Amino acid sequence: MATLFPLRTARWSDILLLNRPDRMEAEVGDDMVSIRMGWLGHAEIPLDRIARIDGYRWPWWGGYGVRIGKGLVAFVPTPGAATLIELDQRITVHAPAAWDTSRVVAAVADPAGFAEAIAAARSARNGA
């Protein structure tokens, strides 16, 4: 059963990013974590590829939207608390063009709950 986590937004971020809040969410499913940020980009992360989950703090000077960097893609409509997903091998995400990454940051409204849901889905998938 999938669990939805809206990305953390503010009124100004919806306007600035020309996006609708209902199109910015992360979903933890039985075998995949999906992150969607409207027309700006999306990621499909297989649970089997996740090596580590951790807290992360996205700085205001890092920018907003779908941000790309060396080995990192961030889905961040606002700065602040986020969740870092580290992978055991690179995957391709759309930011909005295809981009290979080994780390994904998601600024969801409930970062701790998101991390717990991913951990629970991974445990259930591994039969633990």
Count of structural domains, the chain: 1
Task: Encode pLDDT of 97-125 as tens digits.
Answer: 999 999 999 999 999 999 999 999 999 87
Q: What's the whole-model pTM score?
A: 0.90
24 Cβ neighbours under 8 A, 6+ residues apart: 6, 7, 9, 36, 37, 38, 75, 77
Task: Encode pLDDT of 26-66 as tens digits.
Answer: 999 999 999 998 888 999 999 999 999 999 999 999 988 89
Confidence check: pLDDT of 126 > 90: no
- For 116, the domain range is 3-125
Instruction: Report CA Rg, the chain.
Output: 13
Q: Cα-flanking dihedrals φ and ψ of residue 98, to 5°?
A: -60, 135
Nearest to 39 by CA among 17, 72, 58, 6: 17
The pLDDT value recorded for residue 71 is 84
The pLDDT value recorded for residue 104 is 98
